[in-house]
Amino acid sequence: MIIVDEAKTVKDDIFQAIERCKPTRLLIASSPGYAEGEFYRSQTTRKMFYQNFVQRASECPHWKADDIARLRDKWGEQHPLFKSMVLAEFMVSVSEGVIDLKALEDLIANPPPVQKANGAARKAFCDFAWGGDGDENVLALRDGNVITIEETFRADNLHAICGQFIAAFRRLGLRPHQIDGDEGGGGKLICDQLAAMGWRINRVNNGAAPRNSEHCANAAAEMWFEGAQKIIRREIILPNDDDLRAQMLDRKRVPNAKGKLALESKSDMRKRGVPSPDRADAVFGAMMPVRKLESVNISNLGNSRGPWDGFEGEWRLFGSRRQEENCDYLPGAWAG
C-alpha cells in the first residue's frame, strides 16, 4: 500500500513512478488546491479509476462552526480560498494557466447558439506527430463557431500518417486552402509528403513570428492567448473532450524578457510530467482566421482551354489571390 499525503503538491512524474511500483492499494489525500495535477484529475477527468471520498469542514470534528462563519464573513462564500478550505472544492483557476478554468467549464456546460458557416469559412488545423514519442496526430475542424476534433491517431510511418489525414480531408470535403498544418520539427516532412500527394496545405510554424508581434512572442502564443479570449467571450463551441480540457488547462504562461505573452515550451511540460498538448494546439489553430490561396479568374478568356491549372474542373487562366477573413488583395506580380 502506498499513501500520498498533500497530494495536490505532488508532481505528475512521482505519480507515474508510483504506477511502476504496481501498488495493491493506493491512497491519495489532500485538501483541494488549484485545478491541475494528478490529484485534481483523480477527482475529475480520471475519477473512474478511483473510489472517491469528500469530507467538508462541516463534517470534520476539528472545525468549529465559528471558524467556518469567520472565514465566510472574511472572504465570502464564492472566494476560492473559502471553497477550497471549507467546501472541499478546487480553486476555479490554474496557477499561471493560459486558460480560465471557470470560463472553460461554463462554455462547455452551456455553449452559445450554433452558427454554421458557408463552405468558404470552414477551417481545419493539423497538429502532426511523427517519431515514436507517443504524441498524437490531430485534425480539428471549425465550421462557423463549432469546433470538432475529427481525427486523433498515433503512427510512426510517414505515408500512413499522410494517408490517414488525406482520407479525413476527403471525408470532410476540405480543399487544401482550408487546411493549416504545423510544419515545425517533423511536420515539415509531413507537409512535403502531403504536397507530393496532391495536398498543398498552408504551412504554419508555431515558433515563427505572430501576426501581432507587439504583444505575442510567437505564433503558438498568439493562437493560445487569442483562443483564451474567444473562450471568455463565448464565441465558439468546443468538443466535450476530457483530454482536450486537461491539455488546455495544463499549459502555463511564462515570463518573457520583452514583456510579451509567451507559452511554456513542450520540453518544459514534459519535464514536469505533462504530455504534449496536441489536441489543444489543433483546436486553437482551427480558431484562427482562414488563411488561403484561392484560384480566381482575372482574365476575359472565359472557358477557353489552355495549359493552365484548373479550378473545379474548368480550364481557365487563373491568378492567385491571398485571402484572409478580413483581407482581400492580389500579391506580387498578380497585382498588375
**Last-in-domain residue among 97, 117, 132:** 97
pLDDT, one tens digit per residue, over 253-297 is: 888 878 888 888 888 888 877 788 999 999 999 998 876 454 445
Angle (deg, nearest 10), helices 187-196 and 158-172? 60
Q: 211 and 143, same structural domain?
A: yes
Domain identity same for 146 and 233: yes
Domain around 6:
2-97
300 in a structural domain: yes
Number of separate domains in the chain: 3
H/E stretch holding 209 reads none
Q: Is residue 60 part of a domain?
A: yes
On whether the CB atoms of residues 282 and 139 are closer than 8 A, the answer is yes
Q: Given the C-alpha cell 491517431, which residue does it identify?
A: 153
CATH code where residue 14 lies: 3.40.50.300
Residue 7 lies in a domain: yes
Q: Same domain, yes or no, for 234 and 122?
A: yes
Q: Is residue 147 part of a domain?
A: yes
Q: Give residue 323's pLDDT.
A: 44
Handedness of CA 140, 263, 232, 290 (dihedral sign): negative
Q: Model pTM? A: 0.68
- Kind and range of the H or E element at 326? none
Predicted local confidence at residue 132, as pLDDT: 57
Strands (DSSP E) contained in 249-290 are: 253-254, 262-263
Q: What is the 3-state secondary structure (H, E, C) of 107-158?
A: HHHCCCCCCCCCHHHCEEEEECCCCCCCCCEEEEEEECCEEEEEEEECCCCH
The CATH number assigned to the domain holding 205 equals 3.30.420.240
Positions in the chain short of pLDDT 50: 292, 294-296, 300-336
Residue 263, domain member (yes or no): yes
Angle of helix 219-232 relative to helix 278-287, nearest 10 degrees? 80
Which amino acid does the sequence have at 113? P
Which of 97, 123, 138 terminates a domain? The answer is 97
Task: Clarify whether residues 139 and 54 are in a common domain.
Answer: no
pLDDT tens for 48-67 read: 999 999 999 999 999 999 99
Same domain, yes or no: 43 and 133 = no
Q: How far is CA 333 from CA 5, 184, 319, in A?
A: 67, 29, 10
